[in-house]
Amino acid sequence: MARERTLAMIKPDVVKKNVLGPVFTAIEEAGLRPVALRRTQLSKSQAEGFYAVHRQRPFFGELTEFMSSGPAVLMVLEGEDAIGRWRELLGATNPAEAVDGTLRKRFGTNIQCNGFHGSDAPETAAFEIGYLFPGMDIVPA
């Protein structure tokens, strides 16, 4: 598997729960390294741009309200198969259906406020990293 970068986000529900420690432990134990990190509150329009592919879905309005409702932690994770590995750590989109031990199962709230985001392919990772870390020179791990 290739060395990759993925955009990882700790969404506002989990930031509010103040459980960053176990999240970073899971990242480290998976052999991934945060190579860029920032905490910010997305505006509604930033959230809409980030989730533009979901524009037509019925929950788009509520989802982007939630995503802009409080601070989020944004990261670029780097490592072997980083995209798949991070999504594996997250578990299914719906925390209620996620495998025991996954981050969404442990810390997610519900299908909308599911705690975390992870890019799903190299192309989306490139878009999302450029969108949330614009113009940043990210030093490799």
Residues labelled catalytic: 117
Q: Which stretch binds ligand IDP (CB under 6 A): 25-33, 76-84, 107-115, 124-132?
A: 107-115
Dihedrals phi, psi of 10, to nearest 5 degrees: -100, 110
List binders of ligand IDP among 57-96 (CB under 6 A).
59, 63, 93
CB of 92 to Mg ion, least distance (A): 11
User: In this structure, are residues 125 and 6 in contact, taking their beta carbons and an 8 Å threshold?
Assistant: yes
Sole binder of ligand IDP in the list 34, 112, 122, 127 (CB under 6 A): 112
Please list, in sequence order, all residues whose beta carbon lies within 8 angstroms of the beta carbon of residue 17, skipping any fewer than 6 positions away.
107
Q: Which does 110 bind (CB under 5 to 8 A by kind): Mg ion, ligand IDP, none?
A: none
**Residue 86 contacts by C-beta under 8 Å, 6 or more apart in sequence?**
6, 8, 27, 30, 32, 77, 118, 119
Structure tokens at 35: 């190579």
CB 93 within 8 A of CB 24: no
Q: What are phi and psi of 72, to 5 degrees?
A: -125, 160
Q: Site mask, ligand IDP, residues 28-57, x = CB under 6 A?
A: --------------------------x---
Residue 19 found at the interface with ligand IDP (CB under 6 A): no
Footprint of ligand IDP on this chain (CB under 6 A)?
Answer: 54, 59, 63, 93, 111-112, 114, 117, 120
Footprint of Mg ion on this chain (CB under 5 A)?
Answer: 120
